[in-house]
Amino acid sequence: MGLTIASQYGVIGQTNFGDIDVNKPGIVGTLNDHGKGGKPVCHTMLDDIVGAIAAAASTRVAQVQMEEQANEDLSVTQESLF
């Protein structure tokens, strides 16, 4: 489910999710660790869902910034595939 959420903004979203899922920074690591150690809390997929949302959001922010930079630089032109 995490890859599906992260892929909303392309392959780079999936790549970002993979990095978050492996390294588990910040709250994702906390959620992952909270479900371990015999505690009666089920966080089986919660860390993946939170990580996927973070990956999708960060990917979209990067895309918006790149679009803004391209709009400022008049030498950048949009290419057509047709």
Yes or no: say if 49 and 28 are a contact pair by the CB < 8 Å rule.
Answer: no
What's residue 40's pLDDT?
Answer: 61
Q: What is the pLDDT along the chain (82 residues), one digit of tens a residue?
A: 888 888 887 888 888 898 998 998 999 888 888 867 666 666 778 888 999 999 999 988 888 888 888 778 777 666 655 5
Query: Could you tell me the residue ranges of all domains in the chain?
Result: 2-63
Helices (H), the chain: 2-6, 11-23, 26-34, 46-72
Characterise 78 by phi-psi region: left (phi > 0), alpha (psi -120 to 50), beta (else).
Answer: beta
